[in-house]
Structure formats: C-alpha cells, structure tokens
Amino acid sequence: MKTGLQLRLKQQLALTPQLQQSIRLLQLSSIDLQNEVQQMLESNPLLEQVGHEEEHIVKNEESKDSTSTLLEENIPEDLSIDANWSDIYDYSLSPKPSKDESPFDIDSIKNTQETLQECLLWQAYLNTTSEREFFITSKIIDAINEQGYLDSSLKEIIETIETDIVVESEEVQAVLSKVHNFDPPGIGARDLKECLLLQLNRYPTDTPLLDLTKWLVLRYLPDLAEHNYEKIIREINLLPIWEELSREKLDSILKMIRSLNPYPGYQVQSNKIEYIIPDVYVTKSNGRWKTELNLEVIPQLRINSYYKDLTRKNNNAPATQSYLKNQLQDARWFIKGIHVRNETLLKTATCIVKYQQKFLEHGNEIDICPLVLHDVAESIAMNKSTVSRITTNKYMNTPWGIFELKYFFSSSIKTENGEGYSSTAIRAAVKKLIAQEPANKPLSDNAIALVLEKQGIKISRRTVTKYREFLNIPTSSERKKSS
C-alpha cells in the first residue's frame, strides 16, 4: 500500500457561537425572548435595558454607533442566519435544579409550573408515614402517565421496587389504594372503568342513584359508550335488586357520568396559565392592511457607556481588558441578533398578510388561501428553514382574534376547474356542512364529498374522512345515535 499526500478543496459552513445564537433567537417566543434577555443582562455587565421613556435616546445612539462600533468589532451588517441546516440544539431556558435541592421546598416550587408528578409527590410527602412507604409511593407515581393512568402493571412496579428493597404485592396494593385517594380524583387508575369508579367513590353516599350509577359503569360501560340505552333499561328492569329504571332516571345517571373526567391528569396541566402575547399587530388603514411589530415585547437594549469607556483605557489589567472586550463584542452580537430577528419577523408577517387578505377581510376559515413555507421564502428571498423558525411560537393579532403564524399555512388541493383550495378551507367547509345537516339524517363522508363536488371542490371520500377525524367529529352513525 502506497502512502502519499493529496490536496482537496472543500466548502463547509462554520456555525460560530454568534451565528448559533442568532438562529436560536429566531425561534424564541416573545416570553422566551424576554427570559433570554434577562439572562444576558445578568451575565453581561456591558448590556443594559432601556425604559420606554429613553427609547429615543437609544435610537439616536444607534444611528451614531451603527457604522463605527459594529464594523470596529467585525460584525457584519447582515447576519447569515438564512441557511438550511438541521435544528440540532437542545436549548432550555430553565436552570437545572441542584442535587441538594429538596423537591418539597415551597420557595423553589411556588414560582414554577407544577407538573403532575410534583403534585403527587407533594401529597405523598404529606400522607406517608415512613421512608419505605414514601419510596414505594414514588415508584407508583413514576408509572403514572400525563393522562393520570397507571402505565405499568403491579408486577412491573414490584420488579422496579425490588431492585432496592424487598416488598410483598399486598403492601404495594395497599400503597396504590392510598394513591387512589390523592387529588385529582381518579388518579392512578388502570383503565377508564376504574377511573370513573374512583371518582364516583368521592361522591356523598346519599347522592341519588349513586349505587346504580356505579353498577352501570361496572357492568354496562361499553353499552353506555355506544348509546344502547334501550338495552340497558330493559335488562336493568329485569333485575329485582334495582327499582324500575326510566329514561328520565337514566338521563340523570348519564349527566352524572358525563361530569366525570376521563383524563384526571390533565386537570393539573389545565391549571397552568399559558399567556399568549401577539408579536405582530395587523390593522386596516385607508383601505390597506398594515403590519406592525408589538413594541411592548421588543426589548430595547444598549451598551453601558461606563464600561464601554473602560475598554478604551490602557491602565486595566490584561485579564480585565480581555474580559471587557469579549463582553462588549458579545453584547453587540446579541443586540444585532435581536434586530435581525425582528426584521425577519416583520418581513414574514407582511408577506403572510399579503397572501391572506381575503381571510382578514371576512374572518372566515373558508377564505384562507393555500400557502406553504416555500411561497413565503421565495417572496422574501430567504430559506424555508428560516421561515419555519421565525413562524414558530409567534402570534398575529388580527381583527378576528389572535392566530399563530403557522395557522395561515396550509397545503393546496387542486379542484376540477384548476383552482387551488387550502386544506384549512376544505376542513372548514366539511365542518360547516356537518353543522347544518339534519339531526335525524346526518351526512355520510361520501355524501359530503358529493356536496363539495357540486361546489367545485372535488375531493375523495377518504380525504373527507381524514378531515372529519382531524376535527374530532364522529361518524354519521354515531352522530345519529347521539341525537
């Protein structure tokens, strides 16, 4: 085998830390951006935030400083954030808790959003009498999924526990019974039937029809789901242990069952307050649609003049001088990254408004035009990946409400006359037809496809079925039974 030297030319995109930061800023929501800014303000003394009353000063300083300071540190006017590479960053805004931090420290929990497991562990801490019992309880809680159901069998939980301690199945069953008394009601159930019964067990014993309701859930849950009410009434009236069951009594029982929560775990999730702050405002002025950024959520930053002057002095220690210069450059890159983010967001939102003016005029889903990432990317001369990042977790305030930017994107379906309809508009048309159908004669998927074809929208029955299932609308036979 002969050895030798070879020369090869190769082009490779280098992701510098500054470029990575700029890409990450693109996909941050307004709330996450404020958290990012706060972290930068705490870690970089050369960066400071300006109040709204000082914004005009910042703009004047930026106009004087934009050419000299940016070029002084070799920061380009246009950051090359527009490239088609994969999102490979696992970025978290929340600091990881230390090993020594107690999960029951109220001061550390009260300012965070509590998860289902944290909620259950807190109750276990209050209701267990020994470290052994708490350990078994924590293993059971680990096996509860986000819906509130026990994912693992009792045998699997015992095998997990026995890697540390020896237990009997009766002991684990007893601890599980304790967990069943935790909040929210129904937690730790192994199936829907057990979940509903656990919730019914919380009702006062003198609740009317409570015993019969438990019996129906225990024996007739599939029939209740399929609305086989006549069968249930007929069979219950043949049993001497129950009084005569009328349709009125059954309706009361159904009302009680429908008040139960089939997914108790989501009660903890639903208590979290999700604030949606619009990033863009769209208004109509003089017959034209105007797109503006929400200035309230755009951080106004500037370089601290005191520390900036220190970087020009020569009497600093070498380590101090190096630190100040590095922090100064990081601050300028960060300010530039936010500027590019806002500029790209405004371009993208303006383009979306141009395509979706029909929807903005009427506020009807049927008026949404087909639009894909490629259309916007081509219009603003950027890459699809950039458009995808800048539309993630960004919201637009329109006269018809607040919508995520991605809401306005939908694929195009060609009709028989060559005109394109968006999938969102077709879903809205399907939903409208089902809402207007006769209660005693609901439309089948094939019938809906025929009605749409008469309106010029030619789609297959399978497509109608797909859109109906996407909208969580039951089949025509199920809709007829429920009526």
Is 39 a residue whose pLDDT tops 60? yes
Identify the band that residue 54 occupies on the pLDDT scale cut at 50, 70 and 90.
low
Whether the pTM exceeds 0.95: the reply is no
> Does 160 or 294 have the greater pLDDT score?
294
- The pLDDT of residue 16 is 66
Rounded distance between C-alpha atoms, residue 66 and residue 63, angstroms? 6
The answer on pLDDT for 90 being more than 60 is: no
Look at residue 80 in the predicted model and tell me its pLDDT: 57
H helical segments located in 104-203:
106-109, 116-127, 131-142, 154-161, 169-179, 192-200
Average pLDDT score over residue span 94-117 = 49
pLDDT in tens, 344-387: 999 999 999 998 988 888 888 777 888 888 889 889 888 888 88
Q: Quick one: pLDDT at residue 85? A: 41
- pLDDT of the residue at 98: 45
Q: Where are the alpha helices (DSSP H) in 356-475?
A: 357-362, 373-380, 384-390, 423-436, 445-454, 461-470
Beta strand segments in 255-314, E: 280-285, 288-293, 301-303
Query: What pLDDT does 69 receive?
Result: 42
Q: Which two tokens stand for residue 63?
A: 């106009």
Each residue of 19-36: pLDDT tens digit?
A: 777 778 888 888 888 888
Q: Between 22 and 337, where is the model more confident?
A: 337
Q: Which tokens belong to 74?
A: 């070799």
For 377, other C-beta atoms within 10 Å of its C-beta total 20
Stretch 94-114: mean pLDDT, rounded? 44
Please check the confidence at residue 388 and state whether its pLDDT lies above 80.
Answer: yes
* For the chain, percent of residues with pLDDT exceeding 90: 13
Q: Which one has a higher pLDDT value, 40 or 19?
A: 40
15-19, 171-175, 228-232, 287-291: range with lowest mean pLDDT: 15-19
CATH tag for 412-482 (out of 1.10.10.60, 1.20.1250.20, 1.10.1740.10, 3.50.50.60): 1.10.10.60
Least confident of 172-181, 279-288, 392-401, 456-465: 456-465
Query: What is the spatial distance between Cα 195 and Cα 89, in angstroms, rounded to a whole number?
Result: 39
Residue 271 has pLDDT above 60, yes or no: no
* pLDDT confidence tier of residue 91, bands split at 50, 70 and 90: very low
Q: Could you read off the pLDDT of 178-198 as tens digits, one per residue?
A: 999 998 899 999 899 999 999
Q: Is the pLDDT of residue 319 over 50?
A: yes
pLDDT for residue 468: 85
Q: What is the mean pLDDT of residues 264-292?
A: 82
In terms of Cβ atoms closer than 10 Å to its own Cβ (0-12, 13-18, 19+), residue 126 is exposed
pLDDT of 121 over the 50 cut: yes
Q: pLDDT-derived band of residue 290, with 50, 70 and 90 as boundaries?
A: very high
Domain extents in the chain: 114-179, 192-270, 280-408, 412-482
pLDDT at 86: 44
Mean pLDDT of the chain: 80
Q: What is the C-alpha to C-alpha distance for residues 341 and 27, in angstroms, rounded to an integer?
A: 9
Higher pLDDT, 482 or 478: 478
Whole-number pLDDT of residue 100: 45
- pLDDT-derived band of residue 103, with 50, 70 and 90 as boundaries? very low
Q: Supply the pLDDT for residue 344.
A: 92
- 199 band by pLDDT with thresholds 50, 70 and 90: very high
pLDDT band of residue 419 (cuts 50, 70, 90) is low
Query: Poorest-confidence range of 69-73, 141-145, 443-447?
Result: 69-73
CA–centroid distance for 73 within its chain = 39
